[in-house]
Amino acid sequence: MSVPRLTVIGECLIDVGPSGVREVPTGDAATLALAAAQTAHAHETCLATALGDDPLSDAAARTLDAAGIRTMFVQRLPGELPALSVRAEEAGDPLIWRNGTAIRRMFPVHPGYLSEIGASDVVALTATSLAVLPEGGRKTLVQLLRYVRTSGRRVALLLGSNPTLWSESEATRETDRLLGLCSTLFAGRRELETLFGALAGDAAIDALHARGVTEVVIWDRSGGTLASAGEHRVQRKSTTLPVPASLAGRFLAHRLAGAEIEAALDDALLLKP
């Protein structure tokens, strides 16, 4: 019997710190996939991304495989390089280098690749997953997401701060397009306020449900997290702020295994003993 599959689409960044290259790749998409793969439920976690044919890409692919992530959707593009996340200091903000890297050429690809991803039970992505692509790639990805939704499967979106790859107007337009395609949304309250302005709190969640987003998970800086599935809403408080991509990965894995939203949220927040 086949097991359910979660496929995460997005970039896999090589993490470079003051002491050198770290073993585990970074970036929201890779972090989400790693968190989902670490749950104990029987499911497949796949990462759909593009890497080069260089030693850093080789090491990243091996690490993903060792972590239990299926890599059949990891494209290895000859002559290309992976994107980098570079920190000059441990506590500093990273400098992301993407120009001319493999992820920019991830789409379009042959139809068989897209149909295999489209057969996944859940397809997850971040706003950056779309932002890193050129216009032709964005069009292909949006068509894929539309196919997933119309096929009765689920699309999950992790909404972070506006990608610096977009202008503010582009970010608003593209995010609105993604919201029309997703069934599960993960977002901070600040991101919801950016989207909905004065329409905040429960009203914003109601507006998302009215657009077809059946599940909404939001958090704030005080450690509060809320999961909403229509009129059924669950709120939790944790002592530490969740890492959004890790929270999303664990929540999706537990929901994919059939957990109710209360149990999925508790497990995602690591509240269960």
Q: 22: burial class by Cβ within 10 Å (0-12, 13-18, 19+)? A: middle
pLDDT of residue 162: 56
**pLDDT tens figures, 59-75:** 999 999 999 999 999 99
185 closest CA partner among 222, 140, 226, 152? 226
**Beta strand extents in 37-134 (DSSP E only):** 44-51, 69-70, 74-76, 84-86, 95-97, 122-126
| Arithmetic mean of pLDDT, 123-151 | 94
Q: Which residue has the higher pLDDT, 139 or 93?
A: 139
Give the tens place of pLDDT for each residue, 233-258. Answer: 999 998 887 899 999 999 999 999 99
Give the SS3 label for residue 226: strand
Which letter does DSSP use for residue 30 in this model?
H
**Would you say residue 111 has pLDDT above 90?**
no
The residues spanned by each domain of the chain are 5-11+29-48+104-268
pLDDT of residue 170: 76
Strand-pair partners of 185: 157, 216
- Helix, strand and coil in the chain, % to nearest 5: 40, 25, 40
pLDDT band of 18, cuts 50, 70, 90: confident
Average pLDDT taken over every residue of the chain: 90
HSE (side-chain half, CA atoms, 13 Å) at 195: 26
Residues 6 or more apart whose CB falls under 8 angstroms from that of 212 comprise 180, 183
Predicted confidence (pLDDT) per residue in 75-86, tens digit:
999 999 999 999
Whether the per-residue pLDDT at 163 is higher than 60: the answer is no
- Tell me: pLDDT of 11 over 80: yes
CATH topology of domain 5-11+29-48+104-268: UDP-N-acetylmuramoyl-L-alanine:D-glutamate ligase (3.40.1190)
How confident is the model at residue 221, as a pLDDT? Answer: 83
